[in-house]
Amino acid sequence: MSAIRHALSTKREDDFAQWYQEVISEAEMAEESGVRGCMVIKPWGYGIWERIQRLMDDMIKAAGVQNCYFPLFIPLSYFAKEAEHVEGFAKEMAVVTHHRLVADGKGGLVPDPEAKLEEPLIVRPTSETVIGAAMARWIQSWRDLPLLTNQWANVVRWEMRTRMFLRTSEFLWQEGHTAHADRDDAMVETLRALEMYRTFAEGPLAMPVIAGEKPENERFPGAVATYSIEAMMQDGKALQAGTSHYLGTGFAKAAGIQYQDKEGTQQYAHTTSWGTSTRMIGGLIMTHGDDDGLRVPPMVAPHQIVILPMLRENDEDEALLAYCEELRGALASQSALGEPVRVLLDKRPGKATQKRWAWVKKGAPLILEIGGRDAAGGQVSMLRRDRLWNDKAKANFIGLAKDDFIARAASEIEDIQSSLYAEARAKRDANITRVSSFDEVVAFFSEDKRYPGWVEVEWARPTGEELEDVIKRLKELKLTMRNTPLDAEPVTGNCIFTGRPAVERIYVARAY
C-alpha cells in the first residue's frame, strides 16, 4: 500500500531538503522562473500569501499603522548615507545603470551607452533610506510623532544560493517603519511589532515561535537592537520568521529626521523597522508538511473545505452536482475562526483518486468526497488532512450524515487549527535541550541524530574578540546563536563560553 499511502517520493526522515522541494512542486506552490534566483508563485502558494497579507494587514491597521507605497528604486547616494547599512547590504543588490536599450548591430539589444544614468539606482533591498527621506519631509514637530507607516512590496537581495520561499533574490514582504520622540517610545513599538509577529505565527500559521533578541553579531545593518521570532522546522533547524529592529537615531541622522520638541529644541527621531515575508510560507511548509505533502492551517488556507463530486459522466451527475452545490452553499454561510467558511466545489474533470491526492498534497484542511450513493442517502465522506491516516494503511474517510457534517464543520475547522499548533508545539518542545557546558553542545550536535534540534544555554553576552571566538567555535559545528527569549527564566549558572557568571539564556541551533 505504500505507493498509495505516500504521495511524495521522498520522506522527511530520508532527505528533508529534497522533501521540501518536492512538497513545493507537488503542492503546486511555486516553481523556478528561469530568471536567476526568482520564483513564480503559483495560485495555491499565492493564495496562502493573500491570506497571510489579509490577516497581518488587519493586525497592522489595528495598531494604528498606515499603509503607504514608496519607490522601488533607491538612489545610490541615499543608500550610502548610513555606513553600517551600506556595509551590510552593498554586496547583494541589483543595480540599475541604464534607462534604454539599443540595437547591437548583431540582431540583439544592449544597454544604450547614451542612456546611462548619472547616478545608479539600487533596487530596494529594504526601504529604511527612502522612507527616512520621506519622514524627514513629514516630521517637523513633536506633534507629528509617532509616525507609523507600513508597505507591502517586493524587495531584491542578490543571493548566490537560493531556495524557494526561504531565500530568493526577489521576495514579497511587508516592512513597517516608524519614528518616535524618544528611545522608550520606539522600544515599545519595536516590541509591539515583535509581539504581533509572535501572535500571528502562533495564531494563523499555527507555528510556535520563540520571541527574543538577536545577539549583537546578528543585528540588522545599522540597528541598535534586533529582535526575532524563531521557529523550529521538522529537521530541527531554526528559521528566523520575522524581525523587528530598534534603529536608535542612526537612520534619523543619516536622513535628517528631526523634530522640534515641546521646549523648542531640535531633536533626532528614534526609528524602528520590522518585517515579515514570503519566507513564512517556507516555515509553514517545514512546520506542518508530512510525508503526503503540505498541511495548511485553516486560517491561511485559501479553501478550508474542498468538495469533490465523484463524477461518472452519466445522467446521475446532475443530481450529484446539485447536492454538492447545496452543500457548498450551506457550508459557505457558516463562520469558523471568526470568518466565513471558505469552500471550493471542485467540478473539474479528472479521476476521483487523482483529484483527492492533489488536494491531500496541497493540504486542504477538510476534503469531502461525494459519490452518487452519498447524494442519494444524504451522506458525505470526510477526510481531515491533519489525521489523514489512522493505524491502517487507508485514508480515514469518515461517513457522516450531511446535516451532521454541516453542524460540526466549523468546529472541525477550528479543531484542525488548534491540533496543528499543538502537534508542532509538542515537537518543538521535545527538541529543545538545556545544556550547561560547551562540551555538551559539542556532544549534542555530534551525536548521530539526523535532526538534533536546539540547545538552550546560558552565557555572559561577551563582546569584541570574545564574541568573535564564540561565533567561530559555533561555526565549526555549523551552529549559530538564534535569540535570547524575552520570557526566559532567570539564569542560574555560568556562561558556557567564558565561564563567567551568565547574564541571559540563548538558543543555539543550525539554521536556515
Point out which residues bind its own copies (CB under 8 A): 31, 33-35, 38-43, 46-47, 49-50, 66-76, 78-80, 86, 90-102, 108-111, 120-123, 130, 133-134, 137, 143, 149, 153-154, 156, 158, 170, 172, 349
Residue 480 forms beta bridges with which residues?
509
DSSP 491: P
**Which of 463, 476, 16 minimizes the C-alpha distance to 239?**
16
Nearer to its own copies, 34 or 264 (CB): 34
For cell 538577536, what's the residue? 214
CB of 71 to its own copies, least distance (A): 4
Smallest separation (angstroms) from its own copies to the CB of 121: 7
Distance of closest approach, residue 278 Cβ to its own copies, in angstroms: 9
> Would you mind telling me the total number of residues written for the chain in this entry?
512
Compute the least distance from the CB of residue 202 to its own copies, in Å.
Answer: 26
Of 173, 244, 166, give the one whose Cα is nearest residue 211: 244
**Residue (135 or 479) nearer to its own copies, CB:** 135
User: Are the CB atoms for 498 and 466 separated by under 8 Å?
Assistant: yes
CA–CA dist 462, 509 (Å, integer): 18
The least distance separating its own copies from the CB of residue 133, rounded to whole angstroms, comes to 6
- Shortest Å distance, C-beta 228 to its own copies: 25
Whole-angstrom distance, CA of residue 192 vs CA of residue 481: 23
**Helices assigned H by DSSP within 172-222:** 183-202
Residue 250's SS3 state is helix
Least CB distance from residue 101 to its own copies, whole Å?
5
Q: Taking Cα atoms as reference points, which of 490, 488, 471 lies closest to residue 480? A: 471
Toward its own copies, which CB reaches closer, 133 or 508? 133
By the 8 A CB rule, do 61 and 143 touch?
no
Shortest gap between Cβ of 242 and its own copies (angstroms)? 20
Shortest gap between Cβ of 95 and its own copies (angstroms)? 4
Q: Minimum distance from CB of 41 to its own copies (Å)?
A: 4
Distance CA 250, CA 221 (A): 11
Q: Distance from first CA to last CA of the chain, Å, rounded?
A: 34
Nearer to its own copies, 54 or 394 (CB): 54
Residues 457 and 461: their CA atoms lie apart, in Å, by: 11
Q: What is the DSSP letter of 490?
A: P
Nearest C-alpha neighbor of 152 from the set 176, 131, 135, 179: 176
Any alpha helices (H) in 310-382, and if so which ranges?
A: 317-332, 352-362, 372-377
Measured from the CB atom, is 147 or 467 closer to its own copies?
A: 147
- Which CB, 60 or 231, lies closer to its own copies? 60
Q: H or E segment at 366?
A: strand 366-370
d(CA 364, CA 100): 46
- What's the closest the beta carbon of residue 80 comes to its own copies, in angstroms? 5
**Of 55 and 121, which has the nearer Cβ to its own copies?**
121
Residues 6+ apart with CB under 8 A from 460: 494, 495, 497, 498, 500, 501, 502, 503
Minimum CB separation of residue 261 from its own copies in Å reads 17
Say how far apart CA 359 and CA 364 lie, in whole Å. Answer: 6
Question: Which of 82, 230 has the CB closer to its own copies?
Answer: 82
Q: Which is nearer to its own copies, 75 or 372 (CB)?
A: 75
Pick the closer one to its own copies by CB: 50 or 429.
50
C-beta closer to its own copies: residue 158 or 512: 158
Answer whether 379's CB lies under 8 Å from 371's CB.
Answer: no
Q: Is 43 helix (H, G, I), strand (E, B) or coil?
A: helix
Question: What's the Rg (C-alpha) of the chain?
Answer: 26
Question: Per DSSP, what are the bridge partners of residue 273?
Answer: 177, 245
Nearer to its own copies, 36 or 387 (CB): 36
Helix (H) or strand (E) holding 433: strand 432-434
For its own copies, the closer CB: 120 or 485: 120
Nearest-approach distance from CB 70 to its own copies, in angstroms: 6
Rounded Cα gap, residues 211 and 227, in angstroms: 7
Helix (H, G, I), strand (E, B) or coil at 51: helix
Q: Alpha carbon 213 to chain centroid distance?
A: 18
